[in-house]
Amino acid sequence: MTKVKAWVSAFRLRTLPLALSSIIMGGFLAHFYGAFNWSILVSSALTTLFLQVLSNLANDYGDTVNGADHEGREGPQRMVQTGAIGLSAMKKAIVVFAILSLLSGIILIYLAFRKVSDYQSILFFLIGLAAIGAAMKYTMGKNPYGYKGQGDIFVFIFFGLVGVAGSFYLYTQTINLLVLLPASSVGLLSAGVLNLNNMRDVKSDQEAGKHTLVVKLGISNAKKYHLVLVLVAIVTTVVFVSMHQFTPISFFFIVSLPFFARHLVVVHKASKADDFDPELKKLALSTLLFVFLFGFGLMMS
């Protein structure tokens, strides 16, 4: 494998559509409430992409150092564990993307508030620092939260509540509690992608002492948990739309339900790592489709 291919693999591009789902959802909601701004959308998307790549690189590094990535691990190869990328080079890349995330976030805050000293700017700067810390601490450091079964909570918060409701606030500078419903939808589906990842890696995680929620629950209960995540994600969006005087086209996101239904059937029948792995990309893309159909329905209402 060439160095370029190794770095592209370490970036894990298939995770990026999921990262963008929350930002796009926030943009659609801002448009519906009459506060859309292209510069905020582009800057939000760029910041999110930097954060997602940072998380992927930190995960590659942290799981190798902490032993979760080893020769017996199933699933896609990790670049540090295989030796395609050295520890030192990966550390430098993590620093680079942490800085890029920070700088992009500062630009985003300025575009949203046009100030650098008011409480809103300071609050979002702190949220940005927390997002960078969360991206790195999932598997890095002495006490990574991903090794204690807390990854799902952080994914729900940052991919859902912060990603959707936070970006919505950047457009509108108003608090709308109803936005937490579609924000929860994206957060729950994002937690579903992590759950799939952990179901795929359950054997190697057990061997490495990585106590993910799947390791704690067991595969059977993790599948039930997965079903709940997907179903509740759909219900929360249905509730959001139902609470407004929308036309039937507002429920256009229902067109995506067959993809989720197929996915749940596959997960229910899955028995080995190779069964779970393809579903990560499919659930991520289904989530993005869900968001676009939801946004289309809002715009046509």
Q: Does 1 fall in a domain?
A: no
Q: Is the pTM of this model over 0.85?
A: yes
Query: Within 13 Å, how many C-alpha atoms sit on residue 271's CB side?
Result: 1
Q: Does 5 fall in a domain?
A: no
Count of domains for the chain: 1
Q: Does 3 fall in a domain?
A: no
Task: Give the pLDDT confidence of 162-206 residue by residue, as tens digits.
Answer: 999 999 999 999 989 999 999 999 999 999 999 999 999 898 888
- In this structure, what CATH number is given to the domain that contains residue 39? 1.10.600
Q: Does 33 fall in a domain?
A: yes
Is pLDDT of 147 > 80? yes
Q: Does 190 fall in a domain?
A: yes
Mean pLDDT of 95-119: 89
Is pLDDT of 53 > 80? yes
Range of the domain at 271: 13-300
Helix 38-65 to helix 87-113 angle (10° resolution) is 160
pLDDT number for residue 15: 86
Q: Does 114 fall in a domain?
A: yes
Q: Does 7 fall in a domain?
A: no
Give the three-class secondary structure for 242.
helix
Phi, psi of 127 (to 5 degrees): -65, -40
CA dist 261 and 286 (Å) reads 11
Q: Does 137 fall in a domain?
A: yes
pLDDT above 90 as % of the chain: 65
